[in-house]
Structure 1
Amino acid sequence: MLKAVYGEDANHTGIAASYNNIGSVYNSLDDHRQALEYYIKALAMQKAVNGEETNHPDIATSYNNIGSKYNSLGDYRQALKYCIKALAMLKAVYGEDTNHTGIAASYNNIGFVHKSLGDYRQALEYQTKALDMQKAVYGKDTNHTDIATSYINIGSVYSSLGEYRQALEYYTKALAMLNAVYGKDTNHTNIATSYNNIGSVYSILGEYRQALEYHMKSLNMRKAMFGEETKHTDIADSYNNIGSVYNYLGDYRQALEYYTKALDMRKAVYGEDTNHTDIASSYRNIGLVYDSLGDCRQALECHLKTLNIVKAQHGDVITNSRIAHCYKNIAITYYSLGAYRQALDYYTKGLNML
């Protein structure tokens, strides 16, 4: 309709907003490539309307959106570049020392990308900046979803740093705040995420029954929100996490069932032949379960698939701990098969890569 009114090739803020909105819908549908395409269209039109060098909050929003999608697609360097552009532009618009929700969101996004890159201390610094700014904007004792999200993000970084009690503290704060905002019995993505996060920490701490309880709560809530038959990365993550708990409990058949569900759903979301970290992770997990079950042939097949995906992601690198870990898993499986020469070969490859 807008193109019919203004012209097919017209540059207009309304058309740019529509591109952005369509991108947001694709984002909600977990179609990251389509979302990125429309966010880029929105950015191009906003620049055409407002000027290539103009500092404008809509352009900053597009930078943030594009950065977020690159992060979802695993292109972390591009993600960081766009998120930093967004932050610089918002500071230019609102002032360097201004407390603003948009600036807080940019801190949050930059922190999130640093976490994806493994820069956990940098990630914690930016997530803490986001939290402090949100409290300054909304009030220190206010229950607000943005503050709860910052609690979740900080908890996630602490978990990555191995500080699990700190992580559990922040995840629990987030859950309490979200229940206060939405209602204790409400199905909501953020509440489901909090259940998932708390379950993951309990699992790491070896409290597996507690972990399973929270992961099941998360899975059931996600299915209630997205639909029982919907393919979604959050549901896949829940399947994966439940599989991990069953694996820790030594219930390998149950672990295999949930890990396989996670793999199938991730393939449905990302594509059958896509080289994605989550798909590699699923193959690794399934391979390790087959090792535990003594099915070495199936295990080897999964470990080799994991290796191929990780190599496709990282290219011909001289040192890489993820590739080295793949070599180790393959070597262990070859050893179990009695193929000692192949085991020695892969053990040596892994050692040389570290």
Structure 2
Amino acid sequence: MRPFNFISATDKKEALNAVSTKKSSKYLGGGTNLVDLMKENVERPGTIIEVANLDYKTVDQSNRGGYTIGAMLSNSETANHDLIRTQYPLLSMAMLSAATAQIRNMATNGGNLLQRTRCPYFYEVSMPCNKREPGTGCGAKNGMNALHAIFGYSDKCVAVHPSDMCVALAALDAEVEVSSPGGKLRTIAFKDFHRLPGLNPERDTNLEEGELITAIHLPRPIYQHHYHYLKIRERSSYAFALVSVAAGMQVENGKISALGLAMGGVAHKPWKLTAAEDFLKGKTPNEANFERAAQLAMQDARPLSENGYKVSMGEKAIIRALSQAYTKTI
């Protein structure tokens, strides 16, 4: 790990001022990803600005009928919060499937949104990686890519986003609130928060320079009764998803009136299954419709040399997640 300066910000103004005046600075929440990257010499910030103690640690009802969760609240505190467990059980279920309890106790909500890929080429500094060092190439594209993307990748990068929480937030159509060093406050639709790699895979999000995540806005809760988060992994605990599916469903008069559906482990960002959502709205929640929705969801998949299994696995996972969401009772 290289030497760095450390600032523990006491409020948002101090944090934003520090990031705008210190070169190569990074915000630090719980440190469960950034510190690892610094140890591996992947991230090399000159200044660390600790923001974990800023006053964004509550879950509050918004004036739009939904709820706002603070960016500095830990994953454990969020997942186990009474309002999240009862009003957004899909989010709670997804968050509790991630990592170990110790990591969830440290990791912040804002930091979870910013965690970086676990692609081994990204972590191994002796290997080519456009995400780590633009212009060096993508070692995974024609290399070991069994864990990599089947949607939305480019010649520059085939890595996948690792978060479970973010898959649920994509299904829920959340929004992210951010503040800039210039004092501007804006919200970003979750579907627009993370980026596909394109020509600039080093950029994971559409955050502007120095922006700080302060909150996540959840819409009015409608998936309290029919929801499921399915995570398929190489071992039953403490592993990132090969494929995951977040499904939230509202059923009225025997028909699907609203649906939120997203996948993880298949793209550079949480992958929203819009075609499947559109097909299922107004349909009867049955196996035949779930099978057709899964086919639509996977029709544009482009597997790499070693990850073709994700196509059939993904289709079956969507069917299973939808079926379990429909039959779930609380």
Q: TM-score, normalised by structure 1?
A: 0.27
Considering only CA atoms, is the larger Rg found in Structure 1 or Structure 2? 1
- Structure showing greater relative contact order (alpha-carbon pairs closer than 8 Å, 6 or more residues apart): 2
From the two aligned structures, give the one with the greater strand fraction.
Answer: 2
